[in-house]
Amino acid sequence: MDLSQRLGGAEFAPDTAYLNTSNCGLLPRRAVAAVQELAAANATGRRGGGAGSFESVEAARASFGRLTGVAADRVAVGNAVCVHVALIAGSVPAGGEVLVPEGDFSSLVTPFAVRGLPVRQVPLDRLAQSLDARTALVALSAVQSADGRLADLAAVREAALAYGARTLLDTTQAAGWLPVAAGDWDYTVTGGYKFLCSPRGTSFLTVTEQAQETLVPLHAGWVSGADPWQSTYGPVADFADSARRFDESVSFLAYHGAEQSLALLEEIGTDAVHAHVTALARRFRRGMADAGHDVVPAGDSPVVGAPGLGGRREALHAAGVDASVRAGNLRMSFHLYNTQADADRALEALAA
């Protein structure tokens, strides 16, 4: 019995062959219930008017830390990856080169460009070899959004260490299915609304203890204080001595849902999700090869790009299959709520 069969309808309720997690993950039932409960409190005035619970935020922070192998005090929470990246961009010395893969997601690249830093783009498979003495920071996505290619993370870390460059890893398309060791990177950023199955408006920044000294809490508010309730008026005088000083004020509706979603992923385990989603993607790749279609990447990624087939998206939709088009690729992405039947339905629709 595969993972999706074990979950059955108890945790998720898709009513289509949903192969679009790289765009937005499905919310589990328990997350929907938590959001609805807080929204009802907002409407009725129960629970202090439904303002939301910092306990839910802290539970989400701790769950994310466990899922990515770092202590909770190394995790900052926020609303969007680009805000975390902008904070990091502010720490790069003027004129310091930022090395990125060609075609990486704009939220990872644009904050450096806007600041006027030299941004050098190179092919993903040449990233490690392209680091040199000019490189102040290397920034990359663990999994490429456009087509699912996986980066050679070990090679990039080794090269960065050799040249003394800081490292930033975007795990938005990875955390939740790919084992991630966030502590191996100076910074990681993650949007929660894809493979972490959390509501939009959830994002996470991890910072090593050494790298924390490189960042200034430029968007700090009262939640960044060592004691937030003693930091509500005037300039914050005493910041948290953890990554929490880089927190943004969060959307409680989103984090009440994220608390539940991340707890579910912990219960299932990343290894189980990894085995499930990569097996489904392999099945789909074999079917595509048998039908004469090219797909990328060749390795074990649950995100599959089909060059030249972007025009088939509407036909897939009519057949009950939800997918994306990115950079001209028809993009399929498999997650824990998908089944072999979903992969086969997509193959049948493309063969029609």
Q: What is the pLDDT of residue 232?
A: 94
CA 97/CA 190 separation, integer angstroms: 23
In degrees rounded to 5, what are phi and psi of residue 78?
-165, -155
- Averaged in consecutive runs of 10 residues, what is the pLDDT profile of the chain (352 residues)? 72 95 97 95 76 94 98 98 98 96 97 97 98 97 95 97 98 97 98 98 97 94 94 95 95 97 97 96 96 87 94 94 94 96 96 87
Count of beta carbons in the 10 Å neighbourhood of residue 105:
22
What's the pLDDT score for residue 50?
67
Q: pLDDT at position 11, please?
A: 94
Pick the closest to residue 18 from 347, 333, 303 (CA basis): 333
Please say whether the beta carbons of 312 and 254 come within 8 A.
no
CA separation for the pair 147, 327 (Å, rounded): 8
Architecture of domain 3-28+269-351: Alpha-Beta Complex (3.90)
Q: In which residue ranges of the chain is CATH 3.40.640.10 found?
A: 46-267
Between the alpha carbon of residue 3 and those of residues 109, 193, 204, 267, 276, the distances in Å are: 35, 20, 26, 12, 6
CA angle 265, 267, 273 (to 5 degrees): 50
pLDDT for the residue 49: 62
Closest by CA position to 323, among listed 339, 306, 308, 340: 306
Which residues are CB-neighbours of 11 under 8 A, at least 6 positions away?
A: 28, 29, 30, 264, 337
Q: What's the CA gap between 304 and 278, in Å, rounded? A: 10
For residue 299, the model assigns a pLDDT of: 78
Distances from the Cα of 24 to the Cα of 5, 19, 29, 216, angstroms: 22, 10, 16, 31
Quote the CA–CA distance of 50 and 251 in Å, as a whole number: 12
CATH class of 46-267: alpha beta
**H-type helices in 164-269, by residue range?**
252-268
In whole angstroms, how far apart are CA 225 and each of 1, 39, 99, 246, 308?
A: 48, 27, 33, 10, 51
pLDDT (0 to 100) of residue 180: 95
Structural tokens at position 257: 């849902």
Rounded to an integer, what distance in angstroms lies between the CA atom of residue 250 and that of residue 201? 8
Residues 247-289 have pLDDT tens digits of 999 999 999 999 999 999 999 999 999 999 999 999 999 999 9
Using a cut of 0.85, tell me whether the model's pTM lies above it: yes
CA distances from 213 to 91, 141, 169, 209, 217 (A): 10, 23, 18, 7, 10
23 by DSSP, 3-state: which? coil
Structure token pair of residue 214:
């490189």
Question: What is the per-residue pLDDT for 142?
Answer: 98
> Which ranges in the chain are annotated with CATH 3.90.1150.10?
3-28+269-351
- What is the four-CA torsion angle of 71, 196, 302, 325, rounded to 10 degrees? -130
Helix (H) / strand (E) containing 280:
helix 270-290
